[in-house]
Amino acid sequence: MILSVSRRTDIPAYYSEWFMNRIREGFVCVKNPMNIHQVSKIDISPKYVDCIVFWTKNAAPMLRYLDELSAYPYYFQYTVTGYGKDVEPNVPDKKTVILPAFTELARRIGSKRVIWRYDPILFTQRYTPEYHLRAFKQIAEVLNGYTEKCVISFVDLYAKNEKNIATLGTYNMPEGELGAFAGELAGIARANGMKTASCAEKIDLEKYGIEHNSCIDKQLIEEIIGARLNVKKDKVQRGECGCVESMEVGSYNTCLHGCVYCYANYSRDSVEKNCRKYDPKSPLLCDVISENDKITERKVKSLADRQLTLELSI
> Contact, 19 vs 13, CB < 8 A?
no
Over range 263-292, report the average pLDDT: 94
Share of the chain above pLDDT 90, in %: 79
Share of the chain above pLDDT 70, in %: 94
pLDDT tens for each residue of 176-192: 999 999 999 999 999 99
* Residue 314 or 51, more confident: 51
Over range 275-292, report the average pLDDT: 96
pLDDT at 254: 97
Res. 260: pLDDT tops 60: yes
pLDDT at 159: 54
Quick one: pLDDT band at residue 314, thresholds 50, 70, 90?
Answer: very low
Res. 240: pLDDT tops 80: no
The mean pLDDT value of the chain amounts to 92
pTM of the model: 0.93
CA atoms within 13 A on the CB side of 305: 9
